[in-house]
């Protein structure tokens, strides 16, 4: 039996498109050279955080934001559909306890102790919303170098949520696992799934807690059994516990990635990693097959529908030649610099045009060719591959991927998706 849909890219956008198509009954194959942003990113779903001032209601303020950013990927989608994609994600990710509202940004601590707006978070981070202030004990783990509890606590104490409420924070350092010198997050996550290790951590934290304090700790509370580890630690300390994202690799990101991969397998879909798309075969205005290289062999993979979710310049979906020429790698789609055609690609201490570049699409998310016409009738683009966003400044990356992946599946699957 042939494949109904091939999705290029296994990041958020590709996985969302694949899941929606598979749920609508399509046979789906995800092909990706690497893993994309999912296992590196904090697994918080940012929809829109700044315009440039802080946004409190991302969905409510989307229209106003687009007035000054008519080239932004959100222009392609009705706010209602953005909301629907977030509601769908909350349902899909119920096993990870995702919580939040498209109409309310939470303010969660970063690894450096800033408060940053984000929309949906897993249950292990939920208690870390400090928009209403709070008192936090930040717990560092001796030997884990990616998390500086004293710095984090110091910065957090300087945070001023718009509510005017006060944030107080102090830090402690706990020794675990015989005090090794260089603990890796993967090892910590595995060991913190063990009840005796968790009990030791719980005892240590409890003995240092003061009244009313919440407990913030690095996001290493388990991988496969994070729910049990987080819940058990809360019972042990008797207070809400929340994870704070660490620099990559991200354990919450890996949990989310594994969850999405498993959900797709359950729907009969398949993810193949280590597969690089290099070209295509067309017939008239239709894309018939993608050419891919896997294990040093080049093969053709035919399908009826295709989604391009190969990301931006960071993941190799778009490359810049020595002459500065930008190229979308698989189809040669037209690449836009997102409203800053004459700006150098990288500038010191300035808006980075690199962020905004991506493929140009029509209103139906179909990548355009050199002449401005859709390249194919049956190819749709989604996620960081699209031109026009500044996800790092706006805090919009995962929201764009979710919404455009969701919509690409609807467009590819018609009414079924």
Ligand X SMILES: Cc1cc2nc3c(=O)[nH]c(=O)nc-3n(C[C@H](O)[C@H](O)[C@H](O)COP(=O)(O)OP(=O)(O)OC[C@H]3O[C@@H](n4cnc5c(N)ncnc54)[C@H](O)[C@@H]3O)c2cc1C
Contact residues for ligand X (CB under 6 A)? 8-14, 31-38, 40-42, 44, 46, 248, 276-277, 309-311, 315-317, 329-330, 383-385, 391, 397-398, 401
Token representation of residue 390:
């500044």
CB of 298 to ligand X, least distance (A): 12
Cβ-in-10-Å burial (0-12, 13-18, 19+) of 325 comes to exposed
198 or 417, CB closer to ligand X?
Answer: 417
- In 3D, which of 14, 74, 132 has the Cα closest to residue 406? 14
CB of 381 to ligand X, least distance (A): 9
117 or 353, CB closer to ligand X?
Answer: 117
Number of C-beta neighbours around residue 327 at 10 A: 12
CB of 395 to ligand X, least distance (A): 6
CB of 44 to ligand X, least distance (A): 6
Number of C-beta neighbours around residue 94 at 10 A: 11
4 or 46, CB closer to ligand X?
Answer: 46
31 or 326, CB closer to ligand X?
Answer: 31
120 or 236, CB closer to ligand X?
Answer: 120
294 backbone φψ class: left, alpha, beta (φ>0; ψ -120 to 50)? beta
31 or 201, CB closer to ligand X?
Answer: 31
- Relative to beta strand 167-174, strand 214-218 is unpaired
- In 3D, which of 366, 380, 369 has the Cα closest to residue 308? 380
Q: Are 154 and 136 in contact (CB under 8 A)?
A: no
Q: Are 340 and 389 in contact (CB under 8 A)?
A: no
CB of 3 to ligand X, least distance (A): 15
CB of 91 to ligand X, least distance (A): 19
Buried b or exposed e, range 334-346, using 16+ CB within 10 angstroms = bbbbbebeebeee
């Amino acid at each position: 039996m042939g494949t109904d849909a091939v999705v290029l890219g296994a990041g958020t956008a590709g996985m969302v498109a694949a899941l929606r198509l598979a749920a609508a009954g399509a046979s789906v194959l995800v092909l990706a050279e690497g893993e994309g942003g999912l296992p590196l990113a904090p697994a918080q779903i940012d929809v829109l955080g700044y315009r440039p001032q802080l946004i409190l209601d991302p969905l409510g303020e989307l229209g106003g934001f687009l007035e000054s950013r008519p080239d932004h990927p959100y222009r392609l989608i009705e706010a209602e559909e953005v909301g629907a994609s977030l509601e769908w994600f909350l349902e899909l990710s119920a096993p990870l306890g995702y919580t939040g509202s498209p109409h309310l940004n939470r303010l969660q601590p970063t690894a450096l102790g800033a408060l940053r707006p984000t929309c949906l978070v897993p249950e292990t981070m939920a208690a870390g919303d400090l928009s209403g202030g709070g008192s936090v004990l930040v717990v560092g783990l001796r030997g884990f170098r990616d998390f500086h509890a004293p710095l984090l606590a110091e910065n957090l104490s300087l945070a001023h949520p718009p509510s005017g409420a006060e944030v107080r924070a102090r830090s402690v350092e706990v020794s675990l696992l015989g005090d090794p010198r260089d603990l890796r997050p993967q090892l910590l996550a595995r060991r913190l799934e063990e009840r005796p290790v968790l009990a030791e951590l719980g005892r240590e934290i409890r003995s240092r807690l003061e009244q009313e304090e919440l407990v913030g700790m690095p996001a290493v509370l388990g991988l496969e059994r994070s729910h049990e580890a987080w819940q058990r630690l809360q019972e042990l300390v008797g207070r809400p516990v929340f994870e704070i994202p660490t620099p990559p690799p991200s354990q919450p990101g890996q949990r989310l990635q594994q969850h999405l991969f498993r959900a797709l397998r359950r729907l009969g879909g398949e993810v193949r990693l280590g597969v690089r798309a290099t070209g295509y075969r067309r017939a008239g205005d239709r894309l018939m097959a993608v050419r891919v290289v896997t294990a040093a062999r080049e093969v053709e993979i035919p399908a009826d529908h295709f989604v391009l979710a190969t990301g931006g310049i960071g993941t190799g979906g778009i490359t810049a030649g020595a002459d500065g020429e930008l190229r979308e790698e698989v189809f040669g789609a037209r690449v836009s610099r997102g409203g800053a055609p004459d700006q150098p690609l990288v500038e010191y201490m300035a808006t980075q045009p690199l962020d905004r570049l991506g493929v140009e699409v029509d209103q139906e998310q179909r990548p355009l060719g050199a002449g401005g016409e859709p390249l194919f009738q049956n190819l749709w683009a989604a996620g960081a591959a699209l031109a026009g966003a500044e996800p790092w400044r706006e805090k919009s990356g995962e929201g764009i991927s979710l919404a455009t992946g969701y919509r690409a599946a609807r467009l590819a699957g018609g009414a079924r998706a």
